[in-house]
A and B are shown apart, each in its own frame.
Chain A
């Protein structure tokens, strides 16, 4: 039973990973990544790491990938197909592949894969439960845990600052006057008067700004 589940999940994970890079439509790439993450969660379940599996689904498949899908379907989705990169990009990619291969080769040759003949660590009751993970995070791994939370806080503050700068404001400014964003319309761009065939009232630019300001 667990062998079948393992092979289904493993094939799903590898197929998803291949799909992310092979599919030309970015929307389907993101969906392939979702499939990959769900397969990984199934593999975690096989290792009796229930909490890690749930966190994987809630955080990565649920929140992060939805945001990816959000962005891709707004700005990239369907219409634009990804094209193969140029020569420099391919050179960089080849370099990365070589580096990864060397790293894996060192790891395999260094350890000699001795553990693969043994049965692995025995199962301890309570392993992988939220209680044990919480205990490990607050005792053994307290420092990395706190540093990671600080890092995430910095990232969140940075995102807020960047978003405000993009909108044309800096921190500490008064809220923007909304009427500043209403640009005077140029003529013959689909006003209601043109649509009903009425005469254009004036050849100068209209000034709806004054009414809105009150």
Chain B
């Protein structure tokens, strides 16, 4: 029995845990090229061009070609870089992303080979705080990378991203408080269970929380219109300017991985996880597919916003985060708390 899941009512045997970790790892890493491909293809369509269409059918193998290209490239390191931190930083980024993905539930507990298996990595009692803890550590991946590169562009990009991430983390956390108050639990599977019994997905009663969460998620994943950490017109490429080859591939994958995780949390918290609308009750094996399709749709929203909105200025970014989103999220939590108390 692992440490974090100590309060779960049943114990999963060690081989199931290892198998689950492997499957989640593989699914997560298959989502990354998918997200990358969707990003490029949809961006192409939005801009009235085809996007990548040379490698494989409809250009579907383009991400594989990109990854292979990056892996066989030279690992360049600037002379001013701090060796071990320079190598460690991308590893922190990708590691925290992988671990945070473990809490996204793909289905409820099911019977496999006579044992109870939850279709998720872990379901700790602290729930979504687990993901927040690891995204808090992920900031070090960016900061150490930018600092250890020994380059001013990297350094400024890292400082920008650190300021942006810790500013929007507050709003992101507070925007989920409404959901947590409504459901009375932090556990992601129980939140989905609450949406099932209530018969309503939480993005309807928690619409303000949902909007704040999505805006904060754009900022947390450094996606446009909040891609200031890598504003290419000002900073070359931000914190990963000096990186190349496999290490750059790690940063790149971690970025898309964060998008997948944010989509997964949004799907679980606001869009009913593995539930289908209109009371359709499919067999259990459909559940993970439903979650994956929903995650893909949320990623499409990410790309849509990227194609629509221009990048914010730095002061606009900060005033939006602190003067608009934070009061909105606080008011949402307060109103939800009052309503829940009154209606009970």
* Chain A residues in the interface with B (C-beta under 8 A): 2, 5, 27, 31, 34, 38, 41, 45-46, 48, 50-51, 53-55, 57-58, 61-63, 66-67, 69-70, 73-74, 77, 125-126, 129-130
Please tell me if the beta carbons of B136 and A58 are within 8 angstroms of each other in the complex.
yes
Please tell me if the beta carbons of A126 and B7 are within 8 angstroms of each other in the complex.
yes
Given contacts A45-B4, A129-B7, contact A50 B125 (CB under 8 A): yes
The residues of A that contact B136 with a CB separation of less than 8 Å are: 57-58, 61-63, 66
* 9 closest Cβ pairs, A-B complex: A62-B136, A57-B133, A54-B129, A129-B125, A54-B126, A50-B126, A54-B133, A45-B3, A58-B136
Distance between A3 CB and nearest chain B CB, rounded to angstroms? 13
The residues of A that contact B318 with a CB separation of less than 8 Å are: none
Please tell me if the beta carbons of A74 and B159 are within 8 angstroms of each other in the complex.
yes
Please tell me if the beta carbons of A73 and B147 are within 8 angstroms of each other in the complex.
yes
- Determine whether B169 belongs to the interface, using a CB cutoff of 8 Å to chain A: yes
A54 to B124, CA, bound (A): 11
A73 to B152, CA, bound (A): 12
Please tell me if the beta carbons of A70 and B133 are within 8 angstroms of each other in the complex.
no
Interface of B is mostly: helix
- Determine whether B251 belongs to the interface, using a CB cutoff of 8 Å to chain A: no
Q: Mark B125-151, 1 if CB is under 8 A from A, else 0.
A: 110011011011101100110010000
Please tell me if the beta carbons of B132 and A54 are within 8 angstroms of each other in the complex.
yes
Given contacts A45-B4, A69-B143, contact A130 B125 (CB under 8 A): yes
Please tell me if the beta carbons of B4 and A50 are within 8 angstroms of each other in the complex.
yes
The residues of B that contact A51 with a CB separation of less than 8 Å are: 125-126, 129
Please tell me if the beta carbons of B7 and A66 are within 8 angstroms of each other in the complex.
no
Chain A residue with the shortest CB-CB distance to B127: A130
Distance between B103 CB and nearest chain A CB, rounded to angstroms? 12
Distance between B164 CB and nearest chain A CB, rounded to angstroms? 11
The residues of A that contact B143 with a CB separation of less than 8 Å are: 66, 69-70, 73
- Determine whether B176 belongs to the interface, using a CB cutoff of 8 Å to chain A: no
Distance between B17 CB and nearest chain A CB, rounded to angstroms? 13
- Determine whether B155 belongs to the interface, using a CB cutoff of 8 Å to chain A: yes
Please tell me if the beta carbons of A27 and B169 are within 8 angstroms of each other in the complex.
no
- Determine whether B186 belongs to the interface, using a CB cutoff of 8 Å to chain A: yes
Q: 15 interchain pairs (CB within 8 A)?
A: A27-B147, A38-B137, A41-B133, A48-B7, A50-B124, A55-B129, A58-B129, A58-B132, A61-B136, A62-B132, A62-B139, A62-B169, A66-B166, A129-B7, A129-B125
- Determine whether B60 belongs to the interface, using a CB cutoff of 8 Å to chain A: no
Please tell me if the beta carbons of B147 and A63 are within 8 angstroms of each other in the complex.
no
B1-51 interface (Cβ within 8 A of A): 3-4, 6-7
- Determine whether B276 belongs to the interface, using a CB cutoff of 8 Å to chain A: no
A55 to B136, CA, bound (A): 11
A45 to B130, CA, bound (A): 12
Distance between B331 CB and nearest chain A CB, rounded to angstroms? 17
A193 to B285, CA, bound (A): 72
A69 to B124, CA, bound (A): 30
Chain B residue with the shortest CB-CB distance to A34: B140
Partner of B162, one of A70, A125, A129: A70
Residue of A38, A50, A55, A73 contacting most chain B CB atoms (<10 Å): A50
A34 to B137, CA, bound (A): 10
- Determine whether B324 belongs to the interface, using a CB cutoff of 8 Å to chain A: no
A63 to B135, CA, bound (A): 11
With A54-B129, A62-B136, A129-B126 already in contact, 20 other A-B pairs whose C-beta atoms are closer than 8 Å: A31-B144, A45-B3, A46-B3, A51-B125, A51-B126, A51-B129, A54-B133, A62-B137, A63-B166, A66-B143, A66-B166, A69-B143, A69-B147, A69-B162, A73-B143, A73-B155, A77-B147, A125-B7, A129-B7, A130-B126
Given contacts A61-B137, A63-B166, A66-B143, contact A54 B155 (CB under 8 A): no
- Determine whether B286 belongs to the interface, using a CB cutoff of 8 Å to chain A: no
The residues of A that contact B186 with a CB separation of less than 8 Å are: 130
Distance between B62 CB and nearest chain A CB, rounded to angstroms? 35
Partner of B139, one of A5, A66, A126, A129: A66
The residues of A that contact B166 with a CB separation of less than 8 Å are: 62-63, 66-67
- Determine whether B163 belongs to the interface, using a CB cutoff of 8 Å to chain A: yes
A51 to B155, CA, bound (A): 33
Please tell me if the beta carbons of B126 and A70 are within 8 angstroms of each other in the complex.
no
The residues of B that contact A74 with a CB separation of less than 8 Å are: 159
The residues of A that contact B163 with a CB separation of less than 8 Å are: 70
Chain B residue with the shortest CB-CB distance to A72: B147
The residues of A that contact B169 with a CB separation of less than 8 Å are: 62-63
Q: Mark B167-198, 1 if CB is under 8 A from A, else 0.
A: 00100010000000000001000000000000
A192 to B77, CA, bound (A): 34
A63 to B132, CA, bound (A): 11
A130 to B6, CA, bound (A): 14
Residue of A2, A34, A57 contacting most chain B CB atoms (<10 Å): A57
The residues of B that contact A57 with a CB separation of less than 8 Å are: 133, 136-137
A31 to B169, CA, bound (A): 21
Chain A residue with the shortest CB-CB distance to B82: A78
Distance between B87 CB and nearest chain A CB, rounded to angstroms? 15
The residues of A that contact B139 with a CB separation of less than 8 Å are: 62, 66
The residues of B that contact A58 with a CB separation of less than 8 Å are: 129, 132-133, 136, 173
